[in-house]
Amino acid sequence: MERELPGVAAVTDRGHRHHRNEDFFAVAEGTLPDGSPAVLAIVCDGVSSASRPDDASAAASGVAARSLLAALPGGTHPQRAMHDAILAAAKSVNALAAAPNQAQQHDPYRQQNAPACTFVGAVVGGGLLVIGWVGDSRAYWVPDDRSAPAVRLTEDDSWAAQMVANNLMSEAEAYADDRAHAITGWLGADAYELEPHTASFKPDGPGVVVVCTDGLWNYAEAAEQLAAVLPGDAHDRPLHSARTLVAHALAGGGHDNVTVAVVPFPAPSGRAGSA
């Protein structure tokens, strides 16, 4: 599935190994109070060991996008709007556990525990870049000036990240461990206390935000690796760039679902309409 709007594009692919796509994305254009455009992308990765992971990621991405589109024109600061959108997304995933889908009783692939997913989102508008996340889906900043460094904007809620943060292992050691990708934060009724992460940035030049699931970053983990794969004209051709990144993951093995959104910064000029 792909979608392209003037200021954002996203692509998702089932990959080579999974029987279904448990990722989902939402992209949209809204407005800030002064009428200037705000562009958003939400990417969610269903937790395969949970029940109905595809439903969880679809619910979370859709609810978060609608929450942001409602909050931003009213003057809510984008970082606060992102925080609230994550809480709304979590509530929507929790509700799935309270209303089980009858189909899961007849589907051998549907587990019987609470639906769950990761979350990462980006909002670009008003000269500001806002990121929000829970889990191990990521956002990267890649400047148009490739002589400047690309940067990962998120920190994983994962076993490996915890080991590195506590100086118990080097990054190479932690990510080589079988437990590396065990997540320590997610959206779902059986999650630990939810702690939405948000951050705001004011880039000093144009570039793109790449929002993705681990189906991509497993094949381009470091920011400089991802930047090396991203086409140089990503700012002007976000859909082509998202397709290129997905193709890179598939060529590397495609062991997981792959979802990528590319959001140019700054947002395109001109009044945007919601989508």
CATH fold for domain 2-97+114-153+186-265: Phosphatase 2c; domain 1 (3.60.40)
Place of tokens 């959104």: 261
Place of tokens 């990765």: 45
Residue 113: pLDDT band (50, 70, 90) is confident
CA dist., res. 1 & res. 40, Å (int): 17
Report, as an integer, the average pLDDT of 195-216: 96
Distances (CA, A) of 130 to 105, 123, 197, 239, 241: 40, 5, 11, 21, 21
CA dist., res. 73 & res. 125, Å (int): 11
Percent of the chain with pLDDT over 90: 77
Predicted confidence at residue 105, as pLDDT, reads 52
The domain segmentation of the chain, as residue ranges, is 2-97+114-153+186-265
Please write the tens of the pLDDT for every residue from 63-109: 999 999 999 999 999 999 999 999 999 999 999 998 765 555 555 55
Please write the tens of the pLDDT for every residue from 222-262: 999 999 999 999 999 999 999 999 999 999 999 999 999 99
Report which DSSP code applies to 227: H
Give one word for 138, left, alpha or beta, with left for phi > 0 and alpha for psi -120 to 50. Answer: beta
- Residues 241, 234: contact at Cβ < 8 Å? yes
CA dist., res. 81 & res. 43, Å (int): 16
Of 198, 217, 200, 199, the C-alpha closest to 259 is 217
Distances (CA, A) of 13 to 77, 96, 231, 254: 33, 24, 19, 9
Please write the tens of the pLDDT for every residue from 20-66: 999 999 999 999 999 999 999 999 999 988 899 999 999 999 999 99
Residue 193: pLDDT band (50, 70, 90) is confident
Of 185, 154, 143, 139, the C-alpha closest to 40 is 139
CA dist., res. 42 & res. 27, Å (int): 6
Q: What share of the chain is helix, strand, coil (3-state, %, to 5)?
A: 30, 30, 40
**More confident position, 189 or 180:** 189
Tokens (6 digits) for 237: 């051709």
Predicted confidence at residue 274, as pLDDT, reads 34
Tokens (6 digits) for 196: 């939405």
Beta bridge partners of 119: 134
Predicted confidence at residue 272, as pLDDT, reads 38
Predicted confidence at residue 273, as pLDDT, reads 37
Please write the tens of the pLDDT for every residue from 151-185: 999 999 988 888 988 988 888 888 888 888 788 89
Mean pLDDT value across the chain? 92
